[in-house]
Amino acid sequence: MIHFELITPERVMYRQEISQLTIPTTTGEITILPNHLPLVTALSPGIARITVGGRTEEIAVAGGLVTVEKGSRVRILADSAERGEELDLSVIDEAKKRAEKLMTEAVRQDDQTYARAAAELERELARYRVATRHKRSHHP
């Protein structure tokens, strides 16, 4: 088992034993299993998949830091993290539209503004995917 913690500036979202964790990083998606090699990496906006007892939960995450320590200890310090039931599709849709508009405008500006807009859009897309999957699985 993996001793896992997911911490945001607002709360400790998870602190429990899990069997597997798949996360988006700046170098691609990785899966962490028990006895993973020690690692420190940046968390990218996307979907974290946490598996406990054969059940997988998806959480929208937006940037941060991941540490994997010897002894199967994993800690994520995330800028934000949200479960599907916490997300409102109409709010996400509006935020997604704002991010797309900002990206269109940022193309004519500097690379840094464009990169921030792209990261915001990626975050909103991850939130949207988690919310829609949650809605489908809990409301037939």
> Between helices 89-106 and 111-138, what is the axis angle to 10°?
160
* Domain total in the chain: 2
CA gap 60, 111 in Å, rounded: 25
What pLDDT is attached to residue 133? 78
What domain range includes position 74?
Answer: 2-83
Domain boundary among 43, 68, 83: 83
Provide the whole-model pTM. Answer: 0.77
Domain boundary among 68, 83, 98: 83
Per-residue buried b or exposed e for 2-19, using 16+ beta carbons within 10 Å of the residue's own CB: bebebbbeeeebbeeebb
Q: Is 108 helix (H, G, I), strand (E, B) or coil?
A: coil
Residues 94 and 79 in one domain: no
Torsion over CA: 101, 107, 110, 113 (sign): positive
Residues 69 and 123 in one domain: no
Residues 79 and 29 in one domain: yes
CA gap 44, 125 in Å, rounded: 12
Residues 45 and 26 in one domain: yes
Residues 111 and 124 in one domain: yes
Per-residue pLDDT tens digits for 23-61: 999 999 999 999 999 999 999 999 999 999 889 999 999
